[in-house]
Amino acid sequence: KKSGELEKLKCSFSHAPKFSICSGSSYTLIPPNQTKRSQIQRSKYPVVAAKELEELQRWKEEHRPGPINLAPEHLGGSISLAEARKRQQIQHSQSKFQLKAKRDEYRRKEKEAEEAEIQKMKEKQREKANKLVEKQRQEEQQRRKTFAQDYSNKINELQQRVGFGFISGDTNQNPGNSHTVWARSHAYKEMLKKEENRKLQEMLEEERKKVK
């Protein structure tokens, strides 16, 4: 159906006169009046363009900048060539000193930042070392406590083995036996003390090796 309507519309466009109105299904086409259009193009547009150009030229003439009136001045300023070179040399020297000062300031700040970072790392290491020492002290304290408990148990065991009741009963009959038992008890205590010191020295040596 749509193709038939398009064919009809094409036929109407092909057979329509120049000034006729062509209607389609959704729009209306009104062709221009070519004679009138040609007259307008020949007469109106060139006149308008010429008028606009004339106004543009008039505006340019009205807004043209005037002459620049400046007092004559000697080039190079009012100082002599020797004075100018002397000033230039002074400025160059000052710029060199300023550049050196800036470089020194930058290096100083960089060094301070590095020292602060090193100090921070040292503080961390010192804190770790203090924690390690505190941990070792607590462990050593715990070892001493355990060793003291073992020592007390050994003494009690020795006392029970020797039998203080038997010693007190035989003291009046044979004083030499009491002295012998006391000597043995003292020798045993000394042996335990030496063993404790030996173990303590071994533990301290091991801790020193770990720290190194």
Read off the pLDDT band of 107 (50, 70, 90): very high
Nearest one of 204, 134, 201, 118 to 212, comparing CA atoms: 204
Q: Which of 34-43, 121-130, 185-194 is the most confident on average?
A: 121-130
Cα Rg of the chain (Å, integer):
59
- Interatomic CA distance for residues 9 and 23, integer angstroms: 8
* Cα angle, residue 201 at apex, residues 193 and 199 outer, rounded to 5°: 50
**Across 112-123, average pLDDT:** 92
Q: How far apart are CA 60 and CA 70, in angstroms?
A: 24
In this structure, of 15-24, 46-55, 81-90, the range with the lowest mean pLDDT score is 15-24
pLDDT tens-place string over residues 162-171: 655 444 444 4
- Please report the pLDDT score of residue 87 as a whole number: 87
Distances (CA, A) of 56 to 41, 61, 65, 107: 22, 9, 16, 65
Token reading at 26: 């959704």
Q: Worst-scoring range by mean pLDDT, 19-23, 111-115, 138-142, 143-147? A: 19-23
How many percent of the chain have pLDDT more than 70? Answer: 69
Alpha helix (H) ranges present in 23-80? 34-62
pTM over 0.85: no
* Other Cβ atoms closer than 10 A to 143: 13
Write the CA distances from 90 to 84, 132, 159, integer angstroms. 10, 62, 101
